[in-house]
Structure 1
Amino acid sequence: MRQGFDNEKYISLQAEHIKERIAQFGGKLYLEFGGKLFDDYHASRVLPGFEPDSKFRMLKSLSDDVEIVIAINAGDIEKNRARSDLGITYDEDVLRLTDIFRSYGFLVSSVVLTQYAGQPAADLFRRRLEDLGITCYLHYPIEGYPHDIDLVVSDAGYGKNDYIETSRPLVVVTAPGPGSGKLATCLSQLYHEHKRGIEAGYAKFETFPIWNLPLSHPVNIAYEAATVDLDDSNIIDPFHLEAYGKMTVNYNRDVEAFPVVKSLMEKIMGESPYQSPTDMGVNMAGYAIVDDEACREASKMEIVRRYFNAAEQVKRTGAGAEQVDRLRNIMKKAGVTKDYSPARSAALLREETTGAPAGAMVMPDGSVVTGKTSTRLGAASSLLMNALKAVTGVDMETEVISDDAIEPIQRLKTHRLGSVNPRLHPDETLIALSITSATSEVAARVLEGLKKLRGCDAFFSVIISASDEELLRKLGINVCCEPKYERSGIYHK
């Protein structure tokens, strides 16, 4: 795929910039880490060449100087708040994150329960952490937070919080999700460090919006599409413009919160080291863009993708129509329509000519391959097989999977598992292909083509099953569906 982003340059620039920020504050920095750390697929889609684990690899280059503090809101534990992308609760994700960090050699020094007010579920989780040998600290609600500066920055405010014992120059404060109290944890630590006469500072690491790209750049507009459920927007940072006469982009919530954050830092440190929310950031992603047009095109496709995903969710659940309306406006802002991807028109045309659900995929060379529903394969499976043939140079008419591999799976489905649909789903198709590859060089060659489909865009003329979507996304294929079902009715499994 066309690359627009130099990943290695980014990792190097980002690590050096963070080192500079540590030095700026005398050797100790609390870094609020926003966004996804391990699996930032949004960034990899809008910045082609950005690896989903780039931020993690960047931290790995600093690992000897890094320790991790994980913040979780005690109220979220009580409410069993869950990550929709992983299907696990926030407290379980704390354990997952701890395991991942430790498996890569990072020091996870502690977990902090923020907004702790004696919640029974939080107490249970605290005991669980202690049984696992994980140090747990408590941070409490502060009346009038954050606007009552004098109370917040006092022994009755931040002073009530436990002081988190840390030992390394870079303390990364991360969390299972938003609203976990990362910023409050960082500022509370600054208060305690300065009371102890220890120099320390604060910075924020968030990839989007990219501050040194224009407000109207598709990469930044795509971020608005990604956060449409929050109904927030990118804006020009007025504080940066006033202080330096330079136009930079920031998120409206960060801009709105900055006067309070600045006042808190002034109260803690004597003066604020920052004149704008842009100053607080350490993001260097904009400097690693090497092909602006490639990033623009990828971001426009991501905006359209977000629209179709939202429209599909409305069809599935009946909720979220307002988000679809906002995404229509975002598409207009970016100058794109629903037909931006050639895969859509190709899939709809194939459905029209065959009278059955169909799919289409844009190949790495820009060509479009289609697939239709057949007696043996569903639309998703047919498209997957045709795409694999295309990228490995196998003739489309060649029957790659043997009947000996397909028929036992069909019999199992219909005779033993109660399915009325004998057609193979993508996961079943790959199993049949793998079985055939043991005795067929052609099948083995086609199977090797899977890695070449990563980053390709697929479009289906109907909503495919959630399991089919999940399988294709695991393969790195971006999926969109026309927001309609294959059959009429009110219940769709």
Structure 2
Amino acid sequence: MKQGFDNDKYIRLQADNIRKRIAQFGGKLYLEFGGKLFDDYHASRVLPGFRPDTKFRMLDSMKQDVEIVIAVNANHIEKAKTRGDLGITYDEDVLRLIDIFRARGFHVGSVVLTQYAAQPAADAYRHRLAQLGVTCRLHYPIPGYPHDIERIVSDEGYGRNDYIETSRPLVVVTAPGPGSGKLATCLSQLYHDHQRGIKAGYAKYETFPIWNLPLSHPVNIAYEAATADLDDANIIDPFHLDTYGETTVNYNRDVEAFPVLKAMMERIMGKSPYASPTDMGVNMAGYAISDDEACREAANLEIVRRYFAAAVQFRRTGNGEDQVERLRSIMKRAGVDENLSPARKAALDKEAATGAPAGAMVLPDGRVVTGKTGDLMGAASALLMNALKAVTGVDMELPVIDAAAIEPICRLKTEHLHAANRRLHSDETLIALSITSSTSPVAAQVIAGLERLHACDAFFSVIISPTDEALYRKLGINVCCEPKYERTSLYHK
């Protein structure tokens, strides 16, 4: 993919800006981290050059000044709320996050259970944390939150919460998912610090929307597409415009909540340090865009991907028609349609010509290769093999995988695992290719091309299996499917 974002410049600018914000508040800052701290694949797709772990790398550059606090809502623990992308509960994800932070050398100070009301599952989790040697603090529901400012900012509100002892200038407050109480955790700490005479401040770190890009910029529109299920929108920050006469972009929920947040900070600190939601942010991503056109192209492709993902989900579940229509509207606003990627036309044309489900992929040099379902391979496997041959310069007609490596897998699937489909999934194809590569230099050459498919766009004329889709995503290949099934049956495994 053509690069449009200077990752090194971003890390440098971002770290410097956070340090300035720490100094602004006398040496201590509670930084609310929105979105994903690592594995930020949306950012890497719409800002080509942004690495999925860039925010982690930025924090690593100032590691000695950083302390991590992880917030998790006790109600989410009680309801066993699950992260859809990982398939694990929020309480388990907290432990996963702690392991990752510690493995990278970060100091994890505490876990805070927000909205704690003696929920049985939350109590069990609290005791589990204690056994694991993890400090746990409790924050309680506050009647009238968030509008009863007088009660919230008092001994009956934030004052009831446990105080989290912190020792470093930058306290990063993160969470396993939305609704975990990060903002309330930051403000509660501000209240307690100011009661103790400790100077401290609050700021927010959200990558999107990018405040100093136009509202109509595809990168910002792509964020609306990514959050279409929330039915929220990017808007002009009216507080910033009124105060400074400068047009900036913010999220409607942050704008709507700002008057209440400002009132809380005024009561805690005597005067709010911020005149607008934009003021609160520290994001410098807009300053690290090195090729605006490359980012526009990448963001437009992401908007279309989000549309197809929603359309497929609607086809699978029957739910989400409103989201599909909203994404149609977003595509129209961005000036793109379903045929933006040439892979779609190539896949549909291949299916029409052969009568079999097909796929197509746009390679790094702009070539489009195709693959179709055959006797031994599904469309995803055939396309992957053809793409690997193309990027490694191997003859497209040359059989690369030894039939002796394929047939045993096919027999195992049908004779012993009782599968109805004997064709190889893409992961099974790579295993067969790997086995062949031990004796075939050509197979070894082909498998060495996997990294060159990273960030390529693939499109399939039918909905592919979760197994194939997961393998493509592991390889970093962007996948879209036409929202239809290969078969007309009612049940699709």
| TM-superposition CA deviations, 1:441-471 (whole Å, max 9, x none) | 1111110100010100000000011111111
3-state secondary structure, aligned to 2:250: strand
What letter corresponds to residue 321 of structure 1 in structure 2? E
What letter corresponds to residue 43 of structure 2 in structure 1? A
- Counterpart of 1:221? 221
What letter corresponds to residue 101 of structure 2 in structure 1? F
Distance 2:390 2:258 in 1: 52
- Pairs within 5 Å for 1:39-438: 39-438=39-438
3-state secondary structure, aligned to 1:173: strand
| TM-superposition CA deviations, 1:181-238 (whole Å, max 9, x none) | 0000000000000000000000000100000000000000000000001000000000
Distance 1:262 1:451 in 2: 48
- Pairs within 5 Å for 1:3-14: 3-14=3-14
3-state secondary structure, aligned to 1:216: coil
3-state secondary structure, aligned to 2:448: helix
3-state secondary structure, aligned to 1:293: helix
Distance 1:126 1:451 in 2: 43
Distance 1:370 1:127 in 2: 55
Distance 2:233 2:383 in 1: 37
Give how far 1:104 is off. Answer: 0.4
What letter corresponds to residue 250 of structure 2 in structure 1? N
Give how far 1:435 is off. Answer: 0.4
What letter corresponds to residue 45 of structure 1 in structure 2? R
Give how far 1:15 is off. Answer: 0.6
3-state secondary structure, aligned to 2:178: coil
3-state secondary structure, aligned to 1:14: helix
What letter corresponds to residue 73 of structure 2 in structure 1? N
Distance 1:263 1:83 in 2: 33
What letter corresponds to residue 410 of structure 2 in structure 1? Q
3-state secondary structure, aligned to 2:470: helix
Give how far 1:393 is off. Answer: 0.8
Give how far 1:415 is off. Answer: 1.3
3-state secondary structure, aligned to 1:485: coil
| TM-superposition CA deviations, 1:145-191 (whole Å, max 9, x none) | 11111111111110000000000000000000000000000000000
- Counterpart of 2:22? 22
Distance 1:337 1:344 in 2: 11
Query: Which consecutive segments of 4 or more residues in structure 1 shift more than 6 A?
Result: none
Distance 1:417 1:152 in 2: 60
- Counterpart of 1:461? 461
Give how far 1:97 is off. Answer: 0.3
What letter corresponds to residue 205 of structure 1 in structure 2? Y
Distance 1:402 1:37 in 2: 43
Distance 1:97 1:467 in 2: 26
Ranges in structure 1 where 5+ consecutive residues have no aligned partner = none
Distance 1:475 1:31 in 2: 33
Distance 1:122 1:270 in 2: 35
What letter corresponds to residue 118 of structure 1 in structure 2? A
What letter corresponds to residue 453 of structure 1 in structure 2? L
- Counterpart of 1:489? 489
| TM-superposition CA deviations, 1:236-288 (whole Å, max 9, x none) | 00000011000000000000000000010000001000000000000000000
Distance 1:260 1:365 in 2: 51
| TM-superposition CA deviations, 1:76-123 (whole Å, max 9, x none) | 101110000000000000000000000000000100000111111100
Give how far 1:376 is off. Answer: 1.3
Distance 2:288 2:232 in 1: 26
3-state secondary structure, aligned to 2:445: helix
Distance 1:121 1:179 in 2: 18
3-state secondary structure, aligned to 1:490: coil
Residue identity over aligned pairs, in percent, reads 77
| TM-superposition CA deviations, 1:40-80 (whole Å, max 9, x none) | 00000000000000001101111100010000000110111
Distance 1:151 1:415 in 2: 69
What letter corresponds to residue 135 of structure 2 in structure 1? T
What letter corresponds to residue 209 of structure 2 in structure 1? P
What letter corresponds to residue 187 of structure 2 in structure 1? L
- Alignment partner of 1:2 is 2:2: yes
Distance 2:25 2:286 in 1: 24
What letter corresponds to residue 361 of structure 2 in structure 1? M
Give how far 1:419 is off. Answer: 1.4
3-state secondary structure, aligned to 1:371: strand
TM-score (normalizing by structure 1): 1.00
What letter corresponds to residue 152 of structure 2 in structure 1? V
Distance 1:117 1:421 in 2: 51
Give how far 1:420 is off. Answer: 2.4
Distance 2:153 2:357 in 1: 62
Distance 1:55 1:86 in 2: 20
CA RMSD of aligned residues (A): 0.5
Distance 1:363 1:89 in 2: 37
TM-score (normalizing by structure 2): 1.00
3-state secondary structure, aligned to 2:171: strand
3-state secondary structure, aligned to 2:449: helix
Ranges in structure 2 where 5+ consecutive residues have no aligned partner = none
Distance 1:256 1:394 in 2: 57
Give how far 1:38 is off. Answer: 1.2
